[in-house]
Amino acid sequence: MEKTNNQNLSIIDKELKIEGSISSSGKLIIKGQVTGTIKGDVVIIAEGGRVESSATEVTSITIGGNFQGDLTASKELIILASGRCAGKVEYKDLIVENGGILNAEVSCKTSSKLPASKESKTFNASSPLKKGKQVEL
């Protein structure tokens, strides 16, 4: 009897440029360029891959290349050291490796609402920091 694998795998290779809507089940690996909308389970944007999307809805996304646009990840958003993400993102869990860039309007989905803090912590990005110092938020 032959074993069947229910996990689909689709690859957009580095020579491909796609404009339009993509809908996938299983894992989608993007090494090329995509302009349009993406709906799927697990999406991986490899180093060198580029996505410009007005609406991306996925379960999980790993960004090792470049993503620009609106992104909703129902489980996790992972930005690798080589990854860049900009636009508007919504996720449940976030992981950003050292060197990864997240430059977006960010919204974190939680199953329960956290009580509002009476103290407000602010961070002034324009204030000069001495080399070697870290800012704790």
3-state SS track over 4-70: CCCCCEEEECCCCEEEEEEECCCEEEECCEEEEEEEEEEEEECCCCEEEEEEEEEEEEEECCEEEEE
14 falls within a domain: yes
Report the helix count and the strand count for the chain, using DSSP H and E. 0, 8
Q: What are 120-135's pLDDT values in tens digits?
A: 344 444 444 444 444 4
Cβ contact 62:40 at 8 Å: no
**Cα separation of 134 and 128, whole Å?**
12
Which residues form the domain of 20? 9-107
Q: What are 38-79's pLDDT values in tens digits?
A: 999 999 999 999 999 999 999 999 999 999 999 999 999 999
79 falls within a domain: yes
91 falls within a domain: yes
pLDDT value at position 7? 73
Tally of structural domains, the chain: 1
Cβ contact 10:24 at 8 Å: yes
65 falls within a domain: yes
63 falls within a domain: yes
42 falls within a domain: yes
Mean pLDDT over residues 107-129, rounded?
A: 52
pTM of the model: 0.76
pLDDT: which is higher, 84 or 131: 84
64 falls within a domain: yes
pLDDT value at position 6? 57
3 falls within a domain: no
